[in-house]
Amino acid sequence: MFSCVLCEKNEEYLFFSKFCAKCRKIKHHLNLSGERVYEVLDNVLGRNLEGQDNKIKEELKKEIEEKTYNLRNKEKK
Ligand SMILES: [Zn+2]
């Protein structure tokens, strides 16, 4: 039986992909956000549960600020 190369489960595994549906989603995020995905995973999942909520909020805030900043810069050009 074939399994997904990332999570090593068989669920929803498709022949034409090395990844299952869920892991393809991770791959999609990697393609879109690149290094940021590793940063977020490290910062958010590398903490204990209590710290996670706060960190998630921080990460989201940072992301929103960056996007707002980029939008403002684009408008200036
Ligand atoms: Zn998988």
pTM of the model: 0.54
70 CA distance to ligand 1 middle (Å): 33
Cα 48 to ligand 1 centroid, rounded to whole Å: 24
56 touches 63 (CB < 8 A): no
Q: What is the DSSP string of 34-63?
A: THHHHHHHHHHHTS-HHHHHHHHHHHHHHH
Query: 44-61: per-residue pLDDT in tens?
Result: 887 776 677 777 788 888
* Residue range 17-42, pLDDT digits in tens: 788 888 889 999 999 999 999 988 88
Q: Give the distance (Å) from ligand 1 centre to CA of residue 13.
A: 8
